[in-house]
Amino acid sequence: MIENKIDKLIEAIETLTEILSKGVKAEDTKKEKPAENVTLDQLQDICLKLVRKDRKNKEKIVKIIADQGGELLKDIDESKLPQVKAALEAI
């Protein structure tokens, strides 16, 4: 009985060794891209560039921030910062 279990374990180890020796395929290692870390400094830089480009962009920026429930960038929940960044980049 113990011999049968040992034989199964040896077989499993050999199978794993064979798989590992072949290497891991690129498809097997693909993972979802982690969420981008967006900081307030990044958003402030984007806003500054937009306003320098065209002063009328200030109204659009204020609306985007208000839509996320804030008056200033620092009022926005951190989980919403990537959405804000995307909206700003769309201007």
Nearest to 34 by CA among 90, 82, 2, 87: 82
User: What is the three-state SS of 8-48?
Assistant: HHHHHHHHHHHHHHHCCCHHHHCCCCCCCCCCHHHHHHHHH
pLDDT tens per residue, range 38-61: 999 999 999 999 999 999 999 999
Taking 50 as the pLDDT cut, the residues of the chain under it are: none
Considering the entire predicted model, what is its pTM?
0.61
